[in-house]
Structure 1
Amino acid sequence: MSGSGRESRAAQLDDIDRKLLALLTKNSRRTNNSLAEELGIAPSTCLARLNALRDSGVISRFTIEVDPQVLGRELEALIFVKIRPGARHLMSNFASDMRSKPGVRQLFFLGGADDFVLHVAVRNSSDVRQFVLDNLSANPAVATTQTSLVFEHGHGSGEF
């Protein structure tokens, strides 16, 4: 679907880099001084390491996380999608189209029994149903879908 375009070579991280990544994963708005203090290094060293992680591509971007419930999207679901065997050439277009749909938080291209998983956030079960009907059941490339409701989710430790 989309590649990074980077050579496949793992970056070498030491303990301080790993701790810095874990701290930023938990809160990317922390100041350089607070990061340096917690890591026990000089602010200039911390900034140099942060810049090196960015320059090497280990940190690809800083972002925010929106709470969909605060926006009235009380229900989250995972929709597993299989593409028809004769429509495999449409997979890239399908992925681009789904990424642009309101409510789609994440899209995963898979190897295995399913081709894609869509993570959607909507107001209620009627909205999930309507999303599936309008965007998946009506799509000639889609063979089957299976929807699972998300009751709770969280993030890992952020440690690498």
Structure 2
Amino acid sequence: MAKPDAGKDGSTELDAVDWAILGILQNDATIPNKDIAARVGVAPSTCLQRVRRLRATGVVSSVRAHVDPSRLGRPEQAFIAVQVRPHSREAAEDFVARVGRMPETMAVYNVSGVQDYLVHVAVRDSTHLQSLIIDRLLVLPQVAHCHTQLIFGAPVTTPLRRLPDT
């Protein structure tokens, strides 16, 4: 069995079996080990060792349940692009901590460009979104500007796949 090794850039090198296991886990992390092993053509013990190694090396960083916000009364989602001022580590960390505690927040991304952060939120409706922005985001001392984009429909996600050899 090939052991994942660190690549030139510090990334973990995986073989075809590791990638096949990752593909399965990314689609459904609840599949029993014996079923994964059968699908990728290795013994269950080998599969378990590989899954454990993928976790130990940080390739698989967590296993979570995907929650559908619309089933919980929050059918509207948006990305709120935020400019933070002043540009300081303290201001940024405080902003992320405050926004991360808001129950509407699903994710916070630090990005490059004109905006500093993208905040992914799930809300009941446009009135809730407006209140979130005006009454809770724009009052934060670090927020200089917000730009909102509504998300239409569910995101189209795909598992991370092996890059072609170059």
| 2-structure distance, mates of 1:133, 1:106 | 19
Q: What secondary structure is seen at the aligned counterpart in 2 of 1:28?
A: coil
Q: Which letter does structure 1 place at the counterpart of 2:131?
A: Q
In structure 2, the residue matched to 1:117 is 118
TM-score (norm 1): 0.90
Match of 1:159 among 158, 161, 166: 161
Q: 1:65-104 residue pairs with structure 2 within 5 A?
A: 65-84=66-85, 86=86, 88=88, 89-104=90-105
Gaps of 5+ in 2: 1-8
Q: What per-residue deviation string (whole Å, max 9, x for no partner) do you get for residues 115-154 of structure 1?
A: 0000000110011101101222111211110000000212
| 1-structure distance, mates of 2:129, 2:83 | 17
Q: 1:1-160 residue pairs with structure 2 within 5 A?
A: 9-84=10-85, 86=86, 88=88, 89-152=90-153, 153-160=155-162
Give 1:20 deviation, angstroms: 0.7
CA contact (8 A) 1:80 1:118 kept: yes
| 2-structure distance, mates of 1:97, 1:23 | 35
| 2-structure distance, mates of 1:104, 1:91 | 16
Q: What per-residue deviation string (whole Å, max 9, x for no partner) do you get for residues 33-75 of structure 1?
A: 1101110111111001001111111111111100001101010
Q: What per-residue deviation string (whole Å, max 9, x for no partner) do you get for residues 15-38 of structure 1?
A: 111111111000000000110111
| 2-structure distance, mates of 1:59, 1:134 | 38
In structure 1, the residue matched to 2:4 is none
Gaps of 5+ in 1: 1-7
Q: Which letter does structure 1 place at the counterpart of 2:38?
A: E
CA contact (8 A) 1:77 1:119 kept: yes
Q: Which letter does structure 2 place at the counterpart of 1:110?
A: V
Q: How many residues align?
A: 152
| 2-structure distance, mates of 1:157, 1:57 | 16
Q: What secondary structure is seen at the aligned counterpart in 1 of 2:93?
A: helix
